[in-house]
Amino acid sequence: MNSALSGVRPFLIPFLGIIILCLSGCELSGGYSTNKNESTQAVALHVPPTPVNTSKAASSKVDYIVVQKQARLLSLWKDGRVLRTYSIMAMGENPVGSKVYEGDERTPEGQYYIDEKHVSQNFQKFLRISYPNKQDIQLAKRFGVPPGGDVGIHGDRGGMAGFFQRYDKNWTDGCLAIRNKDIEEVYSLVEVGTPILIKP
């Protein structure tokens, strides 16, 4: 028995090593999870937004933002890794699908960038998304409707109004609302010109 096992061991050890490497490779490559909830929250690293050619974006503390509407997640990315992740507190009343016209209560989908940021009396802080772009304007024109605008990331109204807003997932007109403590952090980390990828 012992002599038979000793003859197998030299072949068994490399074989086990190959199996371990394969399993770890699958884990590192970000293969599909068996958990359905986890797979919907996975962000593909190979689809970063197109960088915006501005000096402010180049000096940003964040390389780009990824929004996952269905999972209601907003994440900040740096050097190909997630830097921060935040829950989206609210979107518009009609969140499924990309924005087409003013008043459709939808958040745009696709690649944009943060084109302005300012302190807001109504929403604490506001980071405006560069909607509409040329394609958005052409699409709205095709349907004979205005594309709308002033879509962004912001906090809530604070006080009693803000308290009730935190329990309503659809109180914005298509903007992405996050908690006030989160908008403070996002505002400090994201510069004007930072790309944002908004996924369904």
Rounded to 5°, the CA angle 43-193-190 comes to: 65
pLDDT in tens, 36-70: 333 334 444 444 455 444 444 445 589 999 999 99
User: Is it the case that residue 150 has pLDDT exceeding 60?
Assistant: yes
Residue given tokens 């205005």 in the structure block: 146
pLDDT in tens, 14-40: 444 444 333 333 333 333 233 333 333
Q: What is the pLDDT of residue 123?
A: 85
Residue 84 burial (10 A CB sphere; 0-12, 13-18, 19+): middle
- Tell me, what amino acid is at 125? K
Q: What is the pLDDT of residue 34?
A: 31
Structure tokens, 179:
């908690």
d(CA 197, CA 200): 10
